[in-house]
Amino acid sequence: MLPSFVFGLVAVLLVGVQADLCEKGSTQIEGNVYCQPVEAIRYSNVGASGTYNEVTKMGIDGTCASTPKNFNGPLAPLNEELSLHFRGPVHLKQLATYQLSTTNRFKRSILQEKKHNRHRHQIIHQARANNPIVERQEVVTATIDGKVVSWINQYTGGPGGDGPKATNQIVTATIDGVVQTWANNWFGESTSASPKTVSTATPVAPQPKVPSSGPGVSIHQQIVVPTSSPKASSAEHRVSSSTGNFERTGYYNAEEQTVDNLVFLGNYGGQGSGVFDYHFGASLAYANCSGTGGASSPQILSDEIVPSDAEIIVMLDKKCKGDSCGYVRPGTVAHHGFDGSDKLFLMEFSMPSDGKSGFNADMPAIWLLNAKIPRTLQYGKAECSCWESGCGEFDIVEALHSGSTYLKSTIHTNTPAGDSDYIPRPISSTMKLAVIFSSADSSIHVEILPSSTEFAAQLSASDLDKLCNSAAGRTVSKIHL
């Protein structure tokens, strides 16, 4: 996440078709549109081909050099290593990170561990239409980065066709020598005219009280949304189309003060670890137990609130060796991030209000960055980071003004997208949240989980589906890039 003045300069016209709840009413606060509270935000068709500037040198004279790096495939460039960031006020209680395994070593599901809560909500299945879908398929062959790839084309013949869309088919392609598989969900260009900013209207749901004071500039671009949209679906939805099981790669428990294969970092270089200079400022360092400064070695984050504007960065407890992470700033504390197109984050947290005002005060946020950004320069000269050229940021939940009780979600890549519905900020109690990256259908899901959810060592895609569809009538906002 970059300083607020960067984001307040321009308004971005978001790409894609939204199925949010803005038709039920919206309000504007400090240039940001807020529609309705939701329990899930689901991005589809995430990932595109493109190029960003990968930093290759940070000189002692303060200059930086870079070279173009191509990316492509499902979820690209967010399929690269990511770092996980928390800005206070936030009280992180649990965090579990997972990667998809295609082996059959799954022994115990997350639902089997929930012995104390066996009640399940009845789920209403949406009936299929009576009219059969007629699919017109043809094999498309293309050369991508010098590799010949092919897939079934399901383009329905042009924008706005009246016929039903074909169901997704699996695409298999070899890209940069790696076989990748995903669901084809391209159905032609959207017929919507360029969206317009939603005018202020009386919302259906009661809006939380918002303090009159706050920063003059929003921390992100103004969100531009359609003036009308279809209702968000509350039917059962398949969250992960991936095969195999998600295996836990890292875990933190605040109450037990345990951490496994995770490390807490911050931009505190020169305070016990890392480096500081007047060209680039502070590098990454190990964070102290309160998340407010540096330390000489890895610390376990205390079971307490990380205060306003303090930021902790979570990566794997695996140091970068040689060129395993690409170029990193000399002297920085460099660890690997969370890699791959299929990854999962489960977290339990609260975001209590501290009543403070000023820069980044009482504006909690959780987001993911391309890990190359903090390993070079997260805050500072644009040419010393790949952020501005589009290497990737995903704002999971973020308050955009001081004291806000609305948490927005936004993707920052070469195909940016955002949501005008919001997840209510958990002020007085904790929230359990899942962030699911699925390459099979090129999707990212942000889902509120039942409070009884346990962060098992292994879980299957079907477990995720059951958890995320556990309550009938869930309010869901959908964004198709």
Q: Pick the residue with more confidence: 70 or 471? A: 70
pLDDT at 19: 56
Length of the chain, please?
481
Domain edges within the chain: 4-122+138-480
Angle in degrees, CA 394, 398, 399, rounded to 5 = 155
pLDDT at 362: 97
pLDDT at 104: 42
Pairing of strands 476-480, 40-44: parallel
Omega before 164 within 30 of 0, i.e. cis = no
pLDDT at 112: 33
pLDDT at 181: 52
Position 23 confidence tier, pLDDT thresholds 50, 70, 90: confident
Average pLDDT over the chain, rounded to whole?
A: 76
pLDDT at 465: 80
pLDDT at 473: 73
Give per-residue pLDDT as tens, 31-90.
Answer: 899 999 999 999 999 999 999 999 999 999 999 999 999 999 999 999 999 999 999 999
pLDDT at 466: 80
Q: Are 452 and 117 in contact (CB under 8 A)?
A: yes
Q: Over 80: is that where the pLDDT of 334 sits?
A: yes
Q: What percent of the chain has pLDDT over 90?
A: 57
pLDDT at 380: 94
Position 239 confidence tier, pLDDT thresholds 50, 70, 90: low
Within 88-137, strands assigned E span 91-101
Following DSSP, what letter does each residue of 51-85 receive, concatenated?
A: EEEEEEEE-TTS-EEEEEEEE-STTTTTTS-EEEE
* Least-confidence region, from 138-147, 320-329, 379-388, 443-452: 138-147
Mean pLDDT of 6-30: 60
Mean pLDDT of 19-35: 86
pLDDT at 238: 61
Q: Over 60: is that where the pLDDT of 186 sits?
A: no
Q: Pick the residue with more confidence: 385 or 471? A: 385
pLDDT at 20: 65
pLDDT at 3: 45
pLDDT at 114: 34
Q: Pick the residue with more confidence: 17 or 325? A: 325
Q: How far apart are CA 226 and CA 143, in angstroms?
A: 36
Q: How far apart are CA 421 and CA 22, in angstroms?
A: 7
Position 167 confidence tier, pLDDT thresholds 50, 70, 90: very low
Give per-residue pLDDT as tens, 392-424.
Answer: 999 999 999 999 999 999 999 989 998 899 999
Q: Over 80: is that where the pLDDT of 228 sits?
A: no
- Give, for 446, the enclosing helix (H) or strand (E): strand 443-449
pLDDT at 337: 98
Q: Are 149 and 175 in contact (CB under 8 A)?
A: yes
Give per-residue pLDDT as tens, 101-131.
Answer: 864 433 333 333 333 333 322 222 233 333 3
Q: Are 421 and 38 in contact (CB under 8 A)?
A: yes
Report the phi/psi class of residue 6: left, alpha or beta, with left for phi > 0 and alpha for psi in -120 to 50: alpha
Give per-residue pLDDT as tens, 90-100.
Answer: 999 999 999 99
Q: Pick the residue with more confidence: 139 or 322? A: 322
Q: Three-state SS for 398?
A: strand
pLDDT at 237: 55
| Stated pTM of the model | 0.72
Q: What percent of the chain has pLDDT over 70?
A: 66
Give per-residue pLDDT as tens, 252-279.
Answer: 999 999 999 999 999 999 999 999 999 9
